[in-house]
Amino acid sequence: MSDPERTARVKKFRRLPIDGQSLKRLIEAGLIWLRTNQEIVNSLNVFPVPDGDTGTNMTLTMQAAWNEVKDSGVRNLGEMAALISKGALMGARGNSGVITSQILRGFSRSVNDKATLDVETLVKAFGEARDTAYKGVVRPVEGTILTVIKEVAIATEAALGPVKDPIEMLEVAVKAADEAVKKTPDLLPVLKQAGVVDSGGKGLFFILEGMLRHVYGDSLETPTMSLQPMSAMNLQGALEEVEEGQDYEIVVDFVPLGELDLGSFYGRLEEMGTSIQVGEGEGMYRMHIHVPTEKRYEPIDYIMGIGTVTKVAIENLLAQMEEIQKSAQIKFATVEPGNIAVVVVSPGQGLSKIFASLGVAAVVAGGQSMNPSTQDILNSFENLPTDKVIILPNNKNIILAANQAKEVTVKKVFVVPTRTVPQGLTAMLALLPDGDLEAVAEKMIKAMSAVKTGEITIATRTVEIDGVSVKDGQVIALLDGKLALAAESVEQGVMDLLEKADAGGYELITLFYGAGMAHAEANRIKDVIRGKYSNLEIEVQEGGQPHYQFIISIE
């Protein structure tokens, strides 16, 4: 909409009294705008939280409010507000939905006896909405939707006087909500850690902004161009969602020449492909897109025209998909009767494949927080055509079950007490299938101590162990099973861990990346390591293990 058109529209709004029907339209606009941006709100959820779908819950709550009034012809403001409040109450979903319904309830009670909305009424209603929202909880958590409605109430109260009409006041409210949302990470550390703003607060902002966009006559159907912190970009799980025309994944890091115009940037990218994400951090931008084969260089060429490209990552998603489907079948070593069979416990598909390639006869799925039973281990080798078996538990909590399996079988079993996956892999190198069982097991035990194991994961609670204090959600690194350090990012965790392990004095570092880690990201970290340890051999392998971003072998 052009500026003169917009001005005319706003003027018209200013002239007409805001009655029940106008309020109904505003609620509808709030709902549509929230629904349009629902996924943005959902994506702000901090893992792990119990209320995991804020955007959906708030949208359903607003939808219920709208359903209550959509056929109503009521002109009186108070009556309309009461209907909206009732609808929201009946349809409130989840924590954020309940708070939304309370905000509407407070608003509604405040305008109860008004036929139309003037500026004083609006400000009073925001105040009442805040008071009602805060009454619903014993221990209000700041940095949430509650803070946002509070800041809106404060800002509108302060603006009363100079600001003389409700539309202008709505502008004040939207601006205050926007600022309050941006401040939420300072009030709630868990948000800061995750690099996001509060989801419920953002949802409330969208509702208010939708109302204002309706007044301006702006589109409510196209989602906001979003620029997220780089750390919050979700570049994982891309393979599960590959569709027609998404043959290549392109990630470009760049520094724009001037101010980046998000609108035209998105517009141009949308012509090329899908799954567009743009992230920002420390003056750098990262763009992610899926494009068809013939357009695989277009985003790079385009971005080179508007800035300095620092790094490009291209992945052939189609080929990777085929690879994955092909490799789902693991080929284990066939055991000759009388030879030694090795059975391992493996926490991930990728690791199982590597073990199989080293001559393992069978794999038992298991690892951290998913310990296999004695029976599982027993089943894995009972039917092998040999009576000589070596078990590699690869986790300290599974050694016991492996030993029990040894007790209950008639076969001759040795448990080589490997406590980590890298120990198991190193031990496998000492396997001689037709050797003497005891001698081979001895050799394996000797071999496994030559490797150091690093593990990178996310802390699930705040704790202090061995003088290392760790906050819930922080990246932590374990060296040979002991908590070694905490870090702010996976990359930093890996680097600090290698430092601590004196990696410089070794020859080979292998990174086994976990199920939640993108291949491109693992490769990027490999490059960072190479930058520091240029004399070492560095390999990246798909481990597929859950919980651990990386299992690292240093030998």
Residues that bind other proteins (CB under 8 A): 48-51, 82, 85, 89-95, 97-99, 101-102, 105, 108-109, 132, 135-139, 141, 460-461
For the bound state, the minimum distance from the C-beta of residue 110 to other proteins, rounded and expressed in Å, comes to 10
Is 424 within 8 Å of 394 (Cβ atoms)? yes
Whether residue 418 contacts residue 351, with contact meaning beta carbons closer than 8 Å, is answered with no
Cβ closest to other proteins, residue 64 vs residue 208: 64
- Tell me the sheet residues that pair with 392: 344
| 471 in Cβ contact with 193 (< 8 Å) | yes
| Nearer of residues 86 and 213 to other proteins, judged by Cβ | 86
Nearest approach in angstroms of CB 144 to other proteins is 9
Q: How far is the CB of 499 from other proteins (least distance, A)?
A: 31
Residue 417 CB, shortest distance to other proteins, in Å, is: 14
In the complex, minimum distance from the CB of residue 95 to other proteins, in angstroms, rounded to a whole number: 5
Distance CA 291, CA 297 (A): 9
Residue 508's Cβ-side half-sphere holds a number of Cα atoms within 13 Å equal to: 11
Name which of 45 and 426 has its Cβ closer to other proteins. 45
- Within 13 Å and on the Cβ side, how many CA atoms surround 143? 13
CA-nearest of 99, 107, 130, 127 to 23 is 107
> What sign does the dihedral 356-358-359-360 (CA atoms) show?
negative
Query: What single-letter DSSP state applies at residue 333?
Result: P
What whole-number distance in Å separates Cα of residue 79 and Cα of residue 66?
14
Q: How far is the CB of 543 from other proteins (least distance, A)?
A: 24
Q: Tell me the closest approach of the beta carbon of residue 369 to other proteins, in angstroms.
A: 9
Helix (H) or strand (E) holding 142: none
Greatest alpha-carbon span in the chain: 96
Residue placing its CB nearer to other proteins in the complex, 99 or 483: 99
Nearer to other proteins, 222 or 369 (CB): 369
Q: Which is nearer to other proteins, 331 or 461 (CB)?
A: 461
φ and ψ at 143, to 5 degrees?
90, 20
Q: Shortest Cβ distance from residue 50 to other proteins (Å)?
A: 4
Least Cβ distance, residue 94 to other proteins (angstroms)? 6
Q: Which H helix or E strand runs over 299?
A: helix 298-306
∠ CA 340-343-349 to the nearest 5 degrees? 140
Smallest gap, in angstroms, from Cβ of residue 156 to other proteins? 20
Closer to other proteins by CB, 132 or 423: give it: 132
CB of 392 to other proteins, least distance (A): 20
What's the rounded Cα separation, in Å, for the pair 430 and 437?
Answer: 12
Tell me whether residue 367 or residue 544 sits nearer to other proteins (CB atom).
367
| CA dihedral sign, ordered 409, 415, 418, 422 | negative
CB nearer other proteins, residue 50 or residue 337: 50
Residues 6+ apart with CB under 8 A from 528: 491, 494, 495
DSSP conformational letter for 370: B
Helix axes 199-216, 54-69, angle to 10 degrees: 40
Question: CA separation (Å) from 435 to 59, 333, 389, 426?
Answer: 67, 16, 12, 17
Measured from the CB atom, the residue of 93 and 214 that comes closer to other proteins is 93
Nearer to other proteins, 108 or 553 (CB): 108
d(CA 547, CA 178): 35
